[in-house]
Chains A and B, each alone.
Chain A
Amino acid sequence: DTEVTQTPKHLVMGMTNKKSLKCEQHMGHRAMYWYKQKAKKPPELMFVYSYEKLSINESVPSRFSPECPNSSLLNLHLHALQPEDSALYLCASSRLLAGDSEQFFGPGTRLTVL
């Protein structure tokens, strides 16, 4: 299995809602990532988990809360989002963290905040 899966594919939420994005990989990768991507822009790193521990938070607002329940799962909890948070949210994984060349990306969750 060389796939990263993400659910849901699409999500529409109001500014007062709480929702969660889910990411799963079964490749035995020990590093997992959350990215945010706006149209026609490169992916923008949000969080990095290495061996299930948060290693990087790129100064992301607290309305985004990551969680890594085990080595295969990564969640992103959303609360009180703003319309400007509408974007494609990508999860990725890599074999290891240090200098790893290849990241495997999931198909993303298209988020719309009303």
Chain B
Amino acid sequence: GQSLEQPSEVTAVEGAIVQINCTYQTSGFYGLSWYQQHDGGAPTFLSYNALDGLEETGRFSSFLSRSDSYGYLLLQELQMKDSASYFCAVSRTDKLIFGTGTRLQVFP
């Protein structure tokens, strides 16, 4: 089967750094993506790792290790507006397969 597991909830304070992990049991995918979804909103694309290693986009970084079947999203200098759900997703030939999702709550 194919599954991507994430912690259900993560909490942190403003200005902190938080890491959201994604462990998967699937193979034959192009890359690992991350999406952010605010309550009542649409998922929006954050980052994509086609290769192993770290990709940095402003305050957000994403990491992939295919040998460990593991990836993570790192959020730095947390802001209140970062409170949202975060989904990892693997890109197959024909579709995205989403992870279980992590709800991030940022406190002042």
Contact residues of A with B, CB < 8 Å?
4, 33, 40-43, 45, 48, 50, 55-56, 90, 97-108
Contacts and interface: CB of A to CB of B under 8 A. Distances in A.
Contact of B103 (A40, A43, A45, A100): A40
A102 B48 contact: yes
A101 B29 CA distance: 11
A101 B94 contact: no
Q: Is the interface of A mostly helix, strand, loop or mixed?
A: loop
Interface of B: 30-31, 33, 41-45, 48, 50, 85, 87, 91-96, 98-101, 103
A100 B87 contact: no
B50 A101 contact: yes
A55 B95 CA distance: 10
A40 to B, nearest CB: 7
B11 to A, nearest CB: 16
Contacts of B45: 101-104
